[in-house]
Each structure stands twice: as structure tokens, then as C-alpha cells.
Amino acid sequence: MSVGRVLSVASECVPLIKTGGLADVVGALPGALAPLGWEMRVLLPAYPGLLARLGEGAAEVWSDGDLFGGPARVMAGEVAGIAVLMLDAPHLYDRPGGPYSAGGLDHPDNAERFAALGWAAARIALEGLADGWRPDVVHAHDWQAGLAPAYLRYAGGGGWAGAPRSVMTIHNIAFQGWAEAAKLGALRLPYEQFHSDGLEYYGGLSTLKAGLVTADAITTVSPTYAEELMRPAFGMGLQGVIAARAGQMHGILNGIDDQVWDPANDPAIAPFSAGDPAGKIPNRLRLMEEFALHVPGPLAIVVSRLTDQKGIDLIPDALEDFIGAGGGLAVLGSGDPALEGAMRALETRYPGRVGVRIGYDEGLSHLMFAGADAVLVPSRFEPCGLTQMYGLRYGALPVVAATGGLADTVVNASPAALWQGAATGVVFHPADALGLQQALRRLTVLHADPEGWKAMVRRAMEQPLGWGASSAAYAALYAQLKG
């Protein structure tokens, strides 16, 4: 039974296009909400090659003769069980490179490219699609979809009964969709809204701010990040905007896809489960072979974008002690060239103890979680984070900084938590090299007690990490908005 319809608007969606956790979440929400009666369609740009993925049954459901400089249409179809709406606008999306950049440089017309996505979303919400579908709620993700709530509101959508309501979700406030004020008209935004309580942001525009001031509700991806965002160090310029709307802010923790991440049933690994953790051993051996490692003690991994956010630069100074105590590290990631270089240097410095793979490899990442004892996530900020949850599910205990979703998902192995049988990992603060070094020392001590370690691994693997509670929270929010 359908209780309502949601148009999810995003720039990434697994399994079609992914640069980070945003794609995992956008791809998981429709399946998580369907059992609760919410019918979700995902509107996504048709990047090169994506239209073909819709297959034969795809149908045109919307069109526009001039969507920011060229003709556009929306094709509806299904991919991996997800009802997908692809915005086909070749002048904006059919070009080499990634979704946001090519050859290390942002596409120069990103403001128009993602304004187009928001514009199409708002039109669809107001007018419906050719197949009769019209959403009750528009759910916009990050700066790329930030103008969807704005267009909806400025078109009068916020003003009349029965008009679709909007939700703006912040996955990462570090990316704000900045554009110069001179673009206001070209982006079809009203001049009278160019003031500090409206669209104006440090003399220019931010599509994320636009979404935050116009959406009916705001969510972010963990309760702790929702609180952190009101502080300058985390709000990154938008803390005042968030604080002003604290009453509409909801922190809803992400889940993980527990079918894709199920150690008992994962084609990339030798199977194991909470009741049979010994099954991790063959995975550990394969992992060491893959990275040419010989590690007598705890084997840690990093699977991450290599960026400042993730605290990757803290690792070199924190590692010596850990390696000396018998530990080892396997790294899979790509990003900042300086950090890639720093990771490679570790491999040279600790041969047989540190292995590094620069790149993106989904299958290898599964083997790494399956074979590792610990996953390191020393992030300076982390809105939610997914890899610590994969670590819990696969018995690779998370060693995490006390921030955002990391703090909300990992229970630190303090004496009290150990005594109560609640600990699932190591949480450290502050996020600096000494903090990480001490956390690794605690990890080594915990690992040296086989019985205690076994109990922690089992507890970690038994944590509920699926979408259950979170999809119920989204459903409740949609229902409240729909009225």
C-alpha cells in the first residue's frame, strides 16, 4: 500500500554512479522506504553511458525545450530495483570526466549543471510527470540538489495546501556549491531574495545555503553531526543558518546495505559470521598475500578517499609504535596526490608491514574488511561514515575519532564499557597524531587478550546497522510534511 511518494534528487546513486557514501545512501533509501509504503523515485543526471542502463522499457516522462542552454528530457526506468528518473541534457552532462570535474578541474558550468537538476525536480514536483506521477515530498541531497527546494518555494510551492514539501539533507557541509552573485539571473533565482537571510552567502551564492533556508525540513546523517554543525569549526560558515533552523533539523543516522555487506553471504570473501568468526582466518591470509604482508599482530586497514577530512595525514606519525608492537596496515584509497605519496612512503619504510593500493576497488575493499582486525577512520569530521559500520559488520574493529557518525556508531573500549560488555571499538579524541597513536596502543593491548578480543568482535558483528530505525525516522518525517 502506498502512503506517499517521494522524489529523491541527487548527483550520485549506487549502482549507477558513485564518488562517495552519498551514492550508497541515495541508492539504499528507496529499498529501505518501500516496506513502509513510501514510493521513491530518484532523479539523477544522465552522465555518459547511464541512459543505456535504463534498458528497453525506458519512457520519456518530462521534457523542456531550454533547460539552461539546451533541450532536456527525463527518462524513467528501473535499475537494480530502483525507480530511476534520468535527466538527459547532453549540453550539461554528456562530456568526459567525472560528475563534477575533468582532469582535476571542476566543470566550469557546475552551477548551471546542478541548477538544471534542481529546476527539473521542482517542475516535476509542481506539474507531475507524463505518466501521472507526482511526489508529495521532494528530498534533496547536498549542494547539487540544493536549488530544488529553493525553486519550489519561490515558485509558490511552499504557499498552497497540497503543494509538495521539501527536505534538504546535508551529507557533507564542506561542499557548499558556491557561485558568484552575477549568476543569480542566469540561475533563474529571484533578485529580491538576495539578502543574508535568503540566498546571499559571503557576497555570492551557495546552493546548499539556498536549500537550507528554503526547505521545509533539514536532515543530516547522524545526531552528533547535527549538533556539531552549529559550531563554527564544523558548520564551515553555515553554522548560523543551521542554528537559526535548529527546530527543523533532524539527525538521522545512515544505515548500511546489509545484503551487500553480509559476511555470511559475500561472493568476494570466504564466508564467516558472528557465531563462526574463525572463518575470518582464510580472508586474513588472502589479504596479506594481496598486499605482500607478514603481520604477526593486529592487521589494520584504511579504505578511504585520501583527503584532509579523513585525517590520513595523521597516520605516518602514529604508526611507528604500532608497527613496533607487531601491527600492520593495508591501505586502499585515492585522492590528494600528497597523501597518496605519504602512503606510498610508508610502504617503503615498513616493507612487509604496510601495503598500499592507490585506486578504487569495491571487491578488494570487501576482502579487506573480511581479513582485517581493525579499520582506521581518524577523520577530523565525519558526517556519518560508512566504513566503520562495514568494519563492525565484518569484525574489523573500528578505531575512530570521536566525531559525527563515528561517535554515534562505535562504543569505545573504556574500562566501564568493557566491564558492561558494550565496547565495539576504540574511540579517540582529539583527532591528532598522538590521539591516533594512543588509540592504536589500546588496540594492541586489547588484541593481546584473545578471549576479550573475541567477545568484542562478536559484539561488533551483532550490532544492528541496517536501515530499520533510520528508514522509520525518514518515513515519520515525510508523513509529518505530507500532513
Q: Which does 365 bind (CB under 5 to 8 A by kind): ligand GLC, ligand ADP, none?
A: ligand ADP
Per rule CB under 6 A, is residue 172 in the interface with ligand GLC? yes
Gap between the Cα atoms of 435 and 441, Å rounded: 10
Per rule CB under 6 A, is residue 335 in the interface with ligand ADP? no
Q: With CA atoms as reference, report the closest residue to 217 among 253, 166, 172.
A: 166
Question: Contact at 8 Å (CB) between 272 and 395?
Answer: yes
Gap between the Cα atoms of 187 and 439, Å rounded: 48
3-class secondary structure, 304: strand
Q: Which does 221 bind (CB under 5 to 8 A by kind): ligand ADP, ligand GLC, none?
A: ligand GLC
Quote the cell numbers at residue 257: 546495505
Measured on CA atoms in the order 457, 372, 32, 229, is the torsion positive or negative?
A: positive
- For residue 382, the minimal CB distance to ligand GLC (Å) is 5
My answer on whether omega of the bond before 48 falls inside 30° of 0, hence cis, is no
Per rule CB under 6 A, is residue 255 in the interface with ligand GLC? no
Where would I find the H helices in 128-252? Answer: 147-154, 207-214, 223-228, 232-235, 239-244
Per rule CB under 6 A, is residue 21 in the interface with ligand ADP? yes
- For residue 461, the minimal CB distance to ligand ADP (Å) is 17
Per rule CB under 6 A, is residue 171 in the interface with ligand GLC? yes
Q: Which does 387 bind (CB under 5 to 8 A by kind): ligand GLC, ligand ADP, none?
A: ligand ADP
Residue with cell 539527525: 251
Per rule CB under 6 A, is residue 157 in the interface with ligand ADP? no
Per rule CB under 6 A, is residue 362 in the interface with ligand ADP? yes
H or E segment and range at residue 473: helix 468-482
Per rule CB under 6 A, is residue 293 in the interface with ligand ADP? no
* DSSP assignment of 226-258: HHHTTSHHHHTT-HHHHHHTGGGEEE------T
Number of amino acids touching ligand GLC (CB under 6 A): 13
Interface pick for ligand GLC out of 115, 208, 354, 384 (rule CB under 6 A): 384
Gap between the Cα atoms of 396 and 303, Å rounded: 12
Taking each continuous run of H as one helix and of E as one strand, the counts in the chain are: 18, 20
- Mark the segment that binds ligand ADP (CB under 6 A) among 244-252, 284-292, 311-319, 381-389: 381-389
Among residue numbers 69 through 108, which ones bind ligand GLC (CB under 6 A)?
Answer: none
Interface pick for ligand GLC out of 6, 9, 17, 25 (rule CB under 6 A): 25
Closest chain position to ligand ADP (CB) = 21
Q: Which does 431 bind (CB under 5 to 8 A by kind): ligand ADP, ligand GLC, none?
A: none
Per rule CB under 6 A, is residue 318 in the interface with ligand GLC? no
Question: Contact at 8 Å (CB) between 58 and 130?
Answer: no
Per rule CB under 6 A, is residue 304 in the interface with ligand ADP? yes
Per rule CB under 6 A, is residue 20 in the interface with ligand ADP? yes
- Mark the segment that binds ligand GLC (CB under 6 A) among 200-208, 321-329, 378-386, 444-452: 378-386
Per rule CB under 6 A, is residue 11 in the interface with ligand ADP? no
Question: Contact at 8 Å (CB) between 69 and 58?
Answer: no
H or E segment and range at residue 329: strand 328-335
Interface pick for ligand ADP out of 11, 219, 220, 387 (rule CB under 6 A): 387
Give the DSSP letter of residue 363: H
- Mark the segment that binds ligand ADP (CB under 6 A) among 267-275, 282-290, 303-311, 418-426: 303-311
List residues binding ligand GLC (CB under 6 A).
Answer: 20-22, 25, 171-172, 221, 254, 382-386
List residues binding ligand ADP (CB under 6 A).
Answer: 20-22, 24, 303-305, 332-334, 360-362, 365, 384-387
